[in-house]
Structure 1
Amino acid sequence: MKYHFIEEPLLEFGKDEHFCPRQGIANYDVYDTKFTARKTEILIGIVGVSEDVEKLNAWLERCKSFIPSKANTKQPQLFTSFCGFNENTGFRSKFITSTEITRVINNTDIREILKIKNRNECVTQAVELFSNHIRFIAQNKLVDLIVCIVPKSFENKIVIEKKTEEEIEERLDAEEKPELEINFRRALKASTMFLGKPLQLIREYSLSNPSKGQDEATKAWNFCTALYYKAMQTVPWKLKRDINLPMVCYVGISFYRSRDKKSIQTSLAQIFNEKGNGVILRGTPVEIDKKDRQPHLSDKQAYDLLLSALKEYKFALDTQPARLVLHKSSNYSIDELDGFRKAINDAGISSYDFVTIKETDIRFFRDGFYPPQRGSMFSLSETSHILYTRGSVDYYKTYPGLYIPSPLEIRTVEFDSSPNVICEEILALSKMNWNNTQFDGKYPITIACARKVGEIMKYLSEADKPQIRYAFYM
């Protein structure tokens, strides 16, 4: 067994580089300030009951100014002061809200919906109520995104999700129960996707109970960064790239099931270039393999899906990548490998890496109180490696988690790059999450977005045309 430590990957911002998104934005501005053709105003449509709209406007006003970090903290790098969202600091932009682009929901309408005894019907009516107001704004007003405030009265009746990523560590192989009850957030995003305006849902309690959950500065960092990414159609930061190395295209292949878990699964491709810009492609239904009980593509499906992904990449950048990195959370079948190889060959790509990223029950321990460092890589063989993407972080001076961190197993199936390079890229891609500015994400974006996209996709019919931007799913 060999041990290798991967230094924290650098990110690129407007004026310089840093490995922390918060410090990078605050000190060096968001990445797209490098370009002349950029927006400096974000028009925010709002949907909610009257008192919640007032709370959101107050919070947006608060976010315009500097917000100090958590008081008396022992980890000042983990709890960073918020620079303020305005034209003079890191984001170099401003929020614009107005009654002209706000739709107030009547409390009477909310009460009528809550009288419905059947929960699925109750949620369906709530989705329709919000959808109607969203549609009016999207079709009649000029906005960049729409923020919907989920009222307190919806808690435990219409919105029942209680677990968050901070409360329990997510697993890619977690057994999913049939989604027999309608999920308000997912159904609302799916039903309004055709309007072309990203949604940001925020629950009322996060606006009215500042003492609960995250401190104000952290909440502002995550909220404002998510709004910026969704509204501006750009990225606040990107991976640092060695200009001496060839262009790379990162592709994640995954599958999602129907809500009742009875129908066959559908393939999904997520393509990310080095700037972090992603494209979502929905593939065709697939069958479950009788031997390993896993969904697999036929050779033709694998060929068609990957070739479509590469065409999207070429259209966006006007060139083909010199190297392709393919991530899957399940094993590769012989047919899949044949189809992927043929697509790569037909696209004229000379270098590729086929990688499986899976959960593992293997754990490592070190002396002292803290778990292994993020970036710890243990090579069990030439093709099997354990990578800690969550763990102790020297910069934070702690392990910023609640549970013993579980590493990922990285299997290099066919590869031209070294395992060290492949794992370094996985660690770097774990930082491309614009919903969370804490940089120690568990999964690379190629895999992380799969579940988010699949959650929404299962609410779309085959006739519905899904949006290709990740902003519509996060």
Structure 2
Amino acid sequence: MKTNSRNTVMKLGKPSVSSEWFEEPPITFANGHEHIDPKVGIPLYGPASLGTSRHKNEVHIGFIGTGEGIEKAMRFYEACCDGVDGDDQHEPFPGCKADIGYRCELRMDDAFNEKITQIELSELLKIREGKQRFTETLELLVEKLRLITQEHEHPVDYVVVVVPPAIYDKCRVADYHQKDVGMVHRDLRRAFKARAMEYHKATQLIQERTMSADAVARDLDHKSERAWNLFNGLYFKVDGLPWGPAKLPPASCFVGVSFYRPLGSASTLRTSLVQAFDENGEGLVLRGHSFHWDEKKDGKTPHLTEEHAALLIDDVLTQYEKLRRQRPTRVVVHKSSRFDPAETSGFQSSLQKVSQCDLVALRPTSEIRLIRAGSYPALRGTSFNIADISFLYTTGYIPFLGRFPQGHVPSPLELADHIGDTSRSQLLREVLILTKMNWNSARMYGLMPITVRFSRLVGDILREVPEDATPHPKYKFYV
């Protein structure tokens, strides 16, 4: 009840509450086989692109690192190829050979590698000024990558940078003040990824410490978990498809829109970025247009103008058609903030070119939770509605695993905004499927759909790409 200023009692209606549970969606592997868990599907059937032109029977790997670091990394990869035991909480890694795991052979040879010498390392560490030390470290790694990709007789498919402890501790970040900009933060991994696009080679940065032969260390994941994540990422980055989403509508395009601040720019400048995925899980990254957004005047959350929103969707449709040789019939746009009227108008004006479209705002929330009877939290896949607001648990108890793997009280995603043609139930099912599309690991679950999951990571790499350079659209260069 509520009392107004004239002391009359107003009766508030009781909000309607409903719930349902979506079964764990399957994903596809070789020859169309389906399973819900990559760590079962890969050993049983092989990766989705097995038997296609995308599958490499041999993967040639080059390493950058100290002599000790390279040797340690090569031993680690070789040992993983033979398989890694699991335990009660970790599935075993099946290995990686012609007839097991990802069904490919790794080829490693000292002739593929470039060493960071002790002299080069000591020269870097002599540099006292942090910005210069960071820049010189970046240039050294980029030069080693150039030598591997352009001057070696043996072409490599994949380059692993084994980061020595000294570089990780002293050179991996730089924080410095820049006139008219303020504080600038740079990260070695992100900067190297941006520069590596020029050489069109997939890369993996990994700490030398991570190559521990121990099954378990205090600050490391279980060895089988490390093997799964490394090899799944490797297979994806050499153009393989570990698995694909099942039962997404054909000719669909799922678009994630977010923003970042370009490196060295004024605090009011923002640039939009897009992560777009088709119904097969093929992804691309596009940099949008820069615009000014003053938090003091315009609010903390950036929004596109009507013109920029329309141009962004036009770019997506053009790239989709170029890659797929057809225009999508359905486009779903995901954002983590609500759509303002100008954005909505701009998106919808360009989306008139497709048959169906949806604008969807998703955000994690801890304000509302379901309390489940018993010892475990809500099941992953649980959806509930309070009046016209929808929520979805993308983390939680997983019946197939028989456990709750996250280790913290799960929070649902809120469907904060929806404008479009698709039922909320279908949209939430699709979000659940898209949480399984993180090929940088081999987990069967995730909190956010892939359309927005890596938006900050991708933005941090794009901010290192100069405005006059065209960033590579392939998603594999950003993970």
| Alpha-carbon contact 2:275-2:284 (below 8 Å) kept | yes
SS at match of 2:134: helix
Take 1:402 and 1:151, find their aligned partners in 2: how far apart are those partners?
31
The correspondence of residues 82-101 of structure 1 with structure 2, limited to 5 A, is 82-101=93-112
Q: 1:153 aligns with which of 133, 142, 166?
A: 166
| Alpha-carbon contact 2:338-2:417 (below 8 Å) kept | no
**Residue 2 (str. 1) matches residue 18 (str. 2):** yes
Residue of structure 2 in register with 1:32 after alignment:
49
**Residue 439 (str. 1) matches residue 455 (str. 2):** no
The residue identity in structure 2 corresponding to 1:159 is: R
> Which consecutive segments of 4 or more residues in structure 1 shift more than 6 A?
none
The correspondence of residues 40-439 of structure 1 with structure 2, limited to 5 A, is 40-70=57-87, 73=88, 75=89, 79-141=90-152, 142-159=155-172, 180-208=184-212, 210=214, 211-212=216-217, 213-231=220-238, 233-241=239-247, 245-259=249-263, 262-288=267-293, 290-345=297-352, 347=353, 349-362=354-367, 363-382=369-388, 384-439=389-444
Deviation, structure 1 residue 293:
3.2
| Alpha-carbon contact 2:338-2:416 (below 8 Å) kept | no
| Alpha-carbon contact 1:449-1:470 (below 8 Å) kept | no
| Alpha-carbon contact 1:194-1:465 (below 8 Å) kept | no
SS at match of 2:169: coil
Alpha carbon RMSD of aligned pairs, Å? 1.9
The residue identity in structure 2 corresponding to 1:369 is: S
The residue identity in structure 1 corresponding to 2:416 is: R
The residue identity in structure 2 corresponding to 1:100 is: A
| Alpha-carbon contact 1:120-1:181 (below 8 Å) kept | no
Take 1:58 and 1:291, find their aligned partners in 2: how far apart are those partners?
54
Distance 1:209 1:405, change over 3 A: farther
The residue identity in structure 1 corresponding to 2:329 is: A
SS at match of 1:395: coil
Distance 1:414 1:181, change over 3 A: closer
In the alignment, structure 2 segments of 5+ residues that lack a partner are 1-16, 175-181
Deviation, structure 1 residue 91:
1.0
Post-superposition CA distance 1:29-61 (Å, at most 9, x none):
100014256321111111000001101110111
| Alpha-carbon contact 1:10-1:240 (below 8 Å) kept | yes
Post-superposition CA distance 1:163-186 (Å, at most 9, x none):
xxxxxxxxxxxxxxx863321111
Worse overlay, 396-405 or 306-315: 396-405
Worse overlay, 418-427 or 147-156: 147-156
Deviation, structure 1 residue 236:
0.6
Worse overlay, 293-302 or 349-358: 293-302
The residue identity in structure 2 corresponding to 1:370 is: Y
Take 1:116 and 1:265, find their aligned partners in 2: how far apart are those partners?
33
Q: Which structure has the greater CA radius of gyration?
A: 2
Deviation, structure 1 residue 25:
0.5
Deviation, structure 1 residue 123:
1.6
Take 1:148 and 1:189, find their aligned partners in 2: how far apart are those partners?
11
The number of equivalent residue pairs is 447
